[in-house]
Structure 1
Amino acid sequence: GAQSERYRDLCVRLPADEDAAPVLLREVLAEGASRGWKLLSAVKEPGADVLLVTWDTSGSFAG
């Protein structure tokens, strides 16, 4: 249904270089914003260099 497609989870692999991480995050956030998505949460997976980013896509016109 439409509800299940409203929220989109993205797994972002964080670079080993900590200086590169903010740049990567800015790109991820900019891409979401360009689609009209709203950022709900960004949670780092414990013990992993992975960031789980959850978007609310209700603001997008795609689909």
Structure 2
Amino acid sequence: LRHGETGTRPIYGGEMVQQTDPHFRDLLLFHEYFHGDNGAGLGASHQTGWTALVAKMLSQSGE
């Protein structure tokens, strides 16, 4: 999850938006598994979309 020799995170592979955009570069995704040779994240990226929906629904149900 740390920055590599080039200053990029191996988990994002060649996705430069997540490497350079100030809104995304400090966000870490936790993938199901990783590529053995280059460390790129593979598989589902858990807790990145549906949990926000559930949190919003729970928040609204208490109002």
TM-score (norm 2): 0.28
Higher relative contact order (CA 8 A, sep 6+): 1
Q: Which of the two has greater helix per residue?
A: 1
Q: Which of the two has greater strand per residue?
A: 1
TM-score (norm 1): 0.28
